[in-house]
Amino acid sequence: MSTTEAIKVAPIEDTSLLAFYRDMNVPERRTFWACASGWALDGMDFMIYPLVIGTIMVMWKVDAGTAGLAGTVTLLASAIGGWGAGYLADRIGRVKTLQITILWFSFFSLVCAFVQNFDQLLVARALLGLGFGGEWAAGAVLMGEAIRPQYRGRAVGSVQSGWAIGWGLAVLSQALLFSYLPAQEAWRWMFAIGALPALLVFYLRKYVEEPKIAAQTRANLAKSGDSPALWEIFSGPILKTTILASLAATGCQGGYYAITFWVPRFLTVERKLTIVGSTGYLAMLIIGSFVGYLVGAWLADKIGRRNLFLTFSVGAIAVIIAYTQLPITNEILWLLGFPLGFFASGYFSGMGAARLGTGLLLQFRSRHRRAVPVPGRLVVDADNSRQRHRGIRGVGLRRVLHRGIRIAGDARKNPARGYLAA
C-alpha cells in the first residue's frame, strides 16, 4: 500500500473559510497567528526594497539592471536559505528554526539601513534572503502539521495572506516616511523598520509549541539512527512530486515576482505618479492580493489545488496584459489593481498545502517544502538572469529555469512578458 493510500483524510464537513480556526484549540491558534505574523513581517522586509529602489537608483546613480540585481540576489539566496532551513527544521525542530530565520532577516534588514554604497547593500540583501527563504520553509510546515488534512488548504492559505498585510505595512511606512523625511533619509528608516520582526521571537519562545507529530518523528529517527540525506527528495517515490511541483512553481513565482517587484517603478516612471501618489494604486493591488489569498485558501479545499491553479493563472494573465499593455487611463489602472492582486496571488494559497499533502513522508516535508517554490523567482531581473543561471548548473531544473528566464524577457520594460513564464 502506498503512503498516499495509507493515510485516510476525513471528509470536509464545514466548507466555510474559517472552519479550521473554529476547530482549533488554544495552542493551535497561537501557532496559526505566529506563522501568519512571521510571513507578514517577512513580506514587509522583502517588499521594502522594491519601494525604495527608485530612490537608490537616483542617489547612487545605479541603472535599472544593476538595481534589479539586488532583488535577484535576494531571491537566489532565499532558495539556499529555504533549503537549508528545511533541512535544519528536520533536526532541531520547526519552532526553533522559525525563530532563527526571523532573527536572521530582521538583523540584516537593519544592516541595510547603514550601508554606504550599492555593493554593501547587495551583500546585505543577499544575506537577508537566506532568512527570508527559510522563514516560509519552517512556518509552512509548522502550520501544515498543526492542522488536520481536511482543513490544510484553508489554514496554510490563510497564513499566506499575511504576505499582503506585510506588503501593506511596507507601503504605509513608505507613505509616512517619504512625506515627513527627505528621500535620502527615508529609505534608511524603511530598512530600520524591517528589524522590528525580531520582537516576534519572544512570542514564539513563550507560546508556540513544536507539533507533536514532528517531535515524535525526530525521536523515532534518532532512536533508529536513520538520518535522511539532504538530496533524498530527488530520489525514490517523491522524485516525481519534486519535479512536477518545481515546474509549476517556476512559472507561478517567476511571473509573480517579475511583476510585483517592478510595479512601484512602473507607476512612478511610466505613469508619472509621485511616490506618495502611487500609494493608492498599490493599496488597491494589496487589497486585491489579500482577498485573493483568502479566496484561494477556500477554493483550495473546495475545488482542489489543480483547478485553483488553472483558474487563477488564466485570470492573472488576462489582467496583467490589460494592466501593462492597453492604453488605459490612470483611473482605470487604479481599478484594475484589485483584480491584478487578486489573480496574481490567489493560487499561492494552494501551493503550500499541495506540497504538504499526504504524498510526502513526514521526514521529507521541511526539505521538500523549500526545494520546490524558489526556482521561478530567478526571473525577477531578466537582464542579468542568464549570466547568473550559468553559475548554478548543478541544479537539476536547469532547463526549466532557462525556459522561464527566456520567456520572461526584459521584465522591467515589459512586465507582462515576465508573467507569461507561468
Choose the weakest-confidence range: 90-94, 127-131, 263-267, 283-287.
263-267
**Reduced to 3 states, what is the DSSP secondary structure of residue 220?**
helix
Q: What is the pLDDT of residue 352?
A: 61
Q: What is the pLDDT of residue 394?
A: 27
* pLDDT (tens digit per residue) in 60-92: 999 988 988 888 899 889 888 988 888 888 888
Q: Does pLDDT of 143 surpass 90?
A: no
Choose the weakest-confidence range: 143-147, 280-284, 297-301, 413-417.
413-417
Residues 255, 418 contacting (CB under 8 angstroms): yes
Question: What DSSP element (H or E) covers 316?
Answer: helix 305-325
Task: Measure the CA–CA gap between 269 and 375, rounded to whole angstroms.
Answer: 29
Question: Which residues, in sequence order, are CB contacts of 343 under 8 Å at separation 6+?
Answer: 292, 312, 315, 316, 318, 319
Q: How many CA atoms lie within 13 A of 24 on its CB side?
A: 22
Task: Measure the CA–CA gap between 264 and 266, rounded to whole angstroms.
Answer: 5
Q: How many CB atoms lie within 10 A of CB 183?
A: 15
DSSP secondary structure, 185-212, as one string: HHHHHHHHHTTGGGGHHHHHHHHPPPPH
Can you give the residue ranges of every domain in the chain? 26-199+229-419
C-alpha cell at 110: 537593519
Task: Measure the CA–CA gap between 133 and 146, rounded to whole angstroms.
Answer: 21
276/146: higher pLDDT: 146
Share of the chain above pLDDT 70, in %: 78
Q: Does pLDDT of 374 surpass 60?
A: no
176/379: higher pLDDT: 176
* pLDDT (tens digit per residue) in 195-231: 999 999 998 888 888 888 877 777 777 777 766 666 7
* pLDDT (tens digit per residue) in 320-356: 888 778 887 878 888 888 998 899 888 887 776 554 4
Q: What is the mean pLDDT of the chain?
A: 76
How would residue 11 be classed by pLDDT, with cut points 50, 70 and 90? low
Residues 136, 39 contacting (CB under 8 angstroms): yes
CATH architecture of the domain 26-199+229-419 equals Up-down Bundle (1.20)
Q: Does pLDDT of 298 surpass 80?
A: yes
Q: How many CB atoms lie within 10 A of CB 319?
A: 22
